[in-house]
């Protein structure tokens, strides 16, 4: 089970890292002739009934009377081509134009349909995953390191320091964080670039959530501090820093990793929630949250099922992390 989960998660992260290559189009490119186009059908059998070994697609003709209704134009087939040259993107600092697959102009391939501006949902899903999944990772790293620092100091030194820090933790736990985020976002300047918006978002989510891991780590540190070998090392004159580094913090590894596996999906969800509410990265940069945001409109929810794609991708992500967290919890926290 855990292997499947790890493979699945690696595939997803791999896909979003290679988004520029895997996505056929630029995520912000509006193909205004094709608003709300349904997912393009891949064909193997052509109009004459003969079978093809390689998939091809037909172009779409918009219906003249009804908005967002299309018919396939069977007169011309566009074979799916691999490693085509297309929109410019950058991968690991290199500027590239090569895409995994594509279609000759004037054809278009929309594996997951398009949104109301005619933007390719598949490309947006990949690029949007970058924001959502990376936001989860970075925010979790941030809040875990904060939690680690506060938790170990608090647990190791105890006394007045512990009391003060733990009251602070309780304060943070009791905070209505969603409203806090609303308030923080309201204070930000109007004109911020998507990158800045992304990091602000991550920092805000990350700093809000450090309290719980801090408490858990404090508990582990508190009990580790009293272990015989720690006391022995202290008797031999080991410094506080050496003790923490060598003997105590390794004890917290299990809690740390389990918390990571729990927090990452939680923060992915936080990003999705905030972007859904319009507080995350702004248009035209996609994120799973702002892609789902359009579903707040009744007509989209009722008419265009492919707009739900980001919600469907969240399912395997959450499942994967949940399985991983269970596994880590069993193996590392109680395993030995």
Q: Is 60 helix (H, G, I), strand (E, B) or coil?
A: strand
| Residue 63 DSSP class | -
CB closer to another protein, 194 vs 316: 194
Q: Select from 284, 308, 332, 333 the one that contacts another protein (CB under 8 A).
A: 284
Annotate 107-134 with three-state secondary structure. Answer: CCCCCCCECCCCCEHHHHHHHHHHHHHH
Q: Select from 21, 70, 101, 117 the one that contacts another protein (CB under 8 A).
A: 117
d(CA 138, CA 203): 8
CB closer to another protein, 25 vs 156: 25
d(CA 214, CA 182): 24
| Residue numbers 14-53 binding another protein by CB under 8 A | 28, 30, 32, 35
Q: Select from 86, 118, 151, 213 the one that contacts another protein (CB under 8 A).
A: 118
- Torsion sign (Cα): 71, 82, 284, 311: positive
CA separation, residue 296 to residues 91, 113, 201, 292, 307 (Å):
33, 18, 22, 8, 11
Q: How many residues interact with another protein (rule CB under 8 A)?
A: 26
Closest separation in Å from C-beta 136 to another protein: 23
Calculate the CA dihedral of residues 153, 158, 163, 169 and round it to 10 degrees.
30
Q: Select from 116, 158, 219, 316 the one that contacts another protein (CB under 8 A).
A: 116
CB closer to another protein, 187 vs 236: 187
| Residue numbers 178-217 binding another protein by CB under 8 A | 186, 190-194
Q: Select from 18, 38, 282, 316 the one that contacts another protein (CB under 8 A).
A: 282
Q: Residues 295, 297, 303, CA angle at the centre, nearest 5°?
A: 75
Identify which of 286, 317, 239 has the alpha carbon closest to the alpha carbon of residue 29. 286
| Residue numbers 289-328 binding another protein by CB under 8 A | 297-300, 302-303
Binding segment toward another protein, per CB under 8 A, in 5-13, 94-102, 159-167, 282-290: 282-290
d(CA 220, CA 241): 17
Closest separation in Å from C-beta 199 to another protein: 16
**Which residues contact another protein by CB under 8 A?**
28, 30, 32, 35, 66-68, 116-118, 186, 190-194, 278, 282-284, 297-300, 302-303
């Amino acid at each position: 089970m855990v292997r499947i989960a790890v493979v699945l998660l690696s595939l997803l992260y791999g896909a979003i890292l290679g988004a520029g290559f895997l996505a056929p189009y630029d995520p912000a490119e509006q193909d205004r002739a094709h608003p709300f186009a349904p997912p393009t059908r891949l064909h193997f059998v052509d109009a004459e009934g003969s079978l093809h070994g390689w998939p091809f697609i037909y172009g779409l003709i918009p219906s003249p009377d009804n908005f967002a209704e299309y018919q396939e134009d069977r007169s011309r087939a566009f074979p799916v081509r691999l490693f085509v040259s297309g929109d410019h993107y950058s991968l690991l600092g290199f500027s590239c134009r090569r895409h995994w697959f594509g279609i000759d102009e004037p054809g278009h391939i929309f594996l997951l349909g398009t949104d109301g501006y005619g933007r390719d949902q598949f490309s947006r899903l990949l690029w949007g995953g970058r924001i959502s999944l990376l936001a989860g990772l970075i925010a979790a790293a941030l809040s875990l390191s904060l939690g680690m620092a506060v938790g170990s100091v608090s647990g190791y030194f105890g006394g007045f320091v512990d009391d003060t820090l733990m009251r602070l933790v309780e304060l943070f736990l009791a905070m209505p964080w969603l409203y806090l985020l609303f308030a923080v976002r309201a204070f930000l300047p109007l004109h911020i670039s998507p990158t800045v918006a992304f990091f602000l978002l991550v920092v805000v989510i990350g700093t809000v959530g450090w309290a719980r891991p801090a408490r858990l780590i404090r508990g582990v540190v508190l009990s580790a501090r009293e272990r015989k070998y720690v006391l022995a090392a202290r008797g031999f004159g080991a410094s506080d820093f050496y003790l923490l580094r060598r003997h105590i913090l390794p004890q917290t590894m299990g809690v740390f990793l389990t918390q990571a596996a729990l927090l990452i999906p939680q923060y992915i969800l936080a990003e999705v929630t905030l972007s859904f509410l319009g507080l995350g990265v702004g248009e035209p940069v996609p994120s799973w949250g702002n892609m789902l945001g359009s579903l707040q409109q009744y007509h989209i929810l009722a008419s265009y099922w492919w707009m739900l794609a980001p919600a469907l991708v969240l399912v395997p992500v959450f499942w994967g992390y949940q399985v991983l967290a269970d596994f880590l919890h069993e193996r590392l926290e109680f395993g030995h």
